[in-house]
Amino acid sequence: MIKTIEGPIQAMAFNNKGYLCYIQNREVKLNVLLPDATIHSYNTLLTSLGNNAILDYEYVDFDNHTLRLATDRGVTTFDIHYQSDAKKYSPPAISSFTVLSDKNKSFHLPYPKEGIHLGSGNKDMKFRFGINKSDFDVVEYRYKLPPNQSSWSEWNGIKKEILVTQVKGGDHIFYLQSRVNGGDEEEVSLKFSIDKYWYQTYWVILPVFFIIFLWIFGVIIIMDRINRRKLIRLKKIYVEKETHKTLKLKNDQLLQFAEIISGKNEFLNKIKSGLEQMRNSESKRWARLISNEVNNEKKDFLFHKLFSEVHQNFIKDLNEHYPLLTANDIRVLSFIRINLDKTEICNLMNITSRSLDTNRYRLRKKLNLQSEVDLNQFIREF
């Protein structure tokens, strides 16, 4: 046996044409040195022959362009001259292109340079292909059809046709590659186009996109307006709540102020009554001072100022609807508005209960109230 760095070799032969053949581990390997200094291998072609070599009596040699190999079936010859010519392989050919969804319409070589044009709806198709080769050559193919299949398929040496389905409308290129005996890839392509459906054309798509854009823009504007109105409404509610709190606070202050004045006037009137019973000049002087204090207009001014802040439109509306009302009438109605009782009103106005009843009677007439209408309720709801 001949030993090399690649392992044991059972038999080896070479000729002056650059061919080298050897048997190693029951595999027949044939290489040729090409003019461009590259090495071409025919190992795939001779794989089956290695299994038929005579074990321990392997033999191989060249006779001109004929390779002779001793096998258990006798001497097998291999024409390397024929194979050396066959190494100059032509590219693969797409022999036919069949449209399955158009009554199986087929196209054959040569194809138009501008490509094949198909009508809309033709989405299923079959490609047949092949290559010129010898019986000893092993040919493999792979293909791709973007965008249906953007990456190359696996190499396959059995299929010589491929079925592609659900191809969308538009321009397409079918790419086919072949390699012989594991050599370099050769590539061809076929252009074809499929008409898009009417609703897939730019004349339809652009207006649709424009309408969608307008719709989205309109929705944005409407939502913005809705949000603005909602914000205004929430702000209004907040202001109303804050105003209500403020008015309630001021109304409580108004009631406290009225109660203080009423209590003070009541107390001063009692002192005045006691002084008047003393019947002397000094007591009369103090009685007059107390009377002036009870009727002090400054207290009325402060009360009505505070009342106007709480019930802003009440006095204005009364004057507009009932112009015959006097200032004294407005005072009585203001006291009723804040829910003061009869005694408190009398103390504030420094009048008797009978005088207040007279005022209420006159007010009912000026307000044109029927007998069944309660004056207090009417004023509080006014």
Residue 190 has a pLDDT of 94
Write the CB contacts of 186 (distance below 8 Å, at least 6 apart in sequence). Answer: 89, 90, 91, 92, 131, 177, 178, 179
Say if pTM beats, i.e. exceeds, 0.75: no
Both structure tokens of 307: 């009342």
- Containing H/E element for 24? strand 19-24
Kindly report, residue by residue over 115-162, the tens digit of the pLDDT: 999 988 888 999 999 888 766 677 889 999 998 889 999 988 778 899
Residue 268 has a pLDDT of 67
102 has a pLDDT exceeding 70: no
Residue 175 has a pLDDT of 95
- Of 42-51, 104-113, 167-176, 237-246, the poorest mean pLDDT is in 42-51
* pLDDT band, very low/low/confident/very high, at 50 (cuts 50, 70, 90): low
- Containing H/E element for 299? helix 297-310
Both structure tokens of 148: 């249906």
Query: Is residue 180 within 8 Å of residue 133, measured between CB atoms?
Result: yes
Residue 144 has a pLDDT of 94
Alpha carbon distance, N-terminus to C-terminus of the chain: 127
Query: Is residue 381 within 8 Å of residue 373, measured between CB atoms?
Result: no
189 has a pLDDT exceeding 90: yes
Residue predicted with more confidence, 285 or 107 = 107
* pLDDT, the chain, mean: 78
Kindly report, residue by residue over 243-255, the tens digit of the pLDDT: 777 667 666 666 6
Kindly report, residue by residue over 257-314, the tens digit of the pLDDT: 666 666 666 766 776 676 666 666 666 666 666 665 555 544 555 566 566 666 767 8
90 has a pLDDT exceeding 70: yes
Task: List the chain domain ranges.
Answer: 2-86, 93-200, 222-381
H helix count then E strand count, the chain: 10, 17
Distances, alpha carbon 170 to alpha carbons 146, 174, 199, 208, in Å: 11, 13, 13, 19
Domain 2-86 CATH class label: mainly beta
Residue 187 has a pLDDT of 92
Sign, CA dihedral 332-337-340-341, equals positive
* pLDDT band, very low/low/confident/very high, at 174 (cuts 50, 70, 90): very high
Residue 1 has a pLDDT of 33
Residue predicted with more confidence, 245 or 171 = 171
Q: Tell me the chain's radius of gyration from C-alpha atoms.
A: 58
* pLDDT band, very low/low/confident/very high, at 68 (cuts 50, 70, 90): confident
Query: Is residue 181 within 8 Å of residue 161, measured between CB atoms?
Result: no
- Of 5-19, 235-249, 251-265, 359-373, the poorest mean pLDDT is in 251-265
Residue 3 has a pLDDT of 41
Residue 63 has a pLDDT of 82
Residue 96 has a pLDDT of 92
Residue 286 has a pLDDT of 66
Domains 2-86 and 93-200 share a fold: no
* pLDDT band, very low/low/confident/very high, at 43 (cuts 50, 70, 90): low
Both structure tokens of 50: 């290695």
Q: Which residues pair with 12 in a beta bridge?
A: 22
Residues of the chain above pLDDT 90, percent: 14
CA-nearest of 196, 139, 148 to 175 is 148
Cα separation, 381 vs 188, in Å, equals: 95
- For domain 93-200, give the fold: Immunoglobulin-like (2.60.40)
Residue predicted with more confidence, 371 or 244 = 371
- The amino acid at 371: S
- Of 38-52, 83-97, 223-237, the poorest mean pLDDT is in 38-52
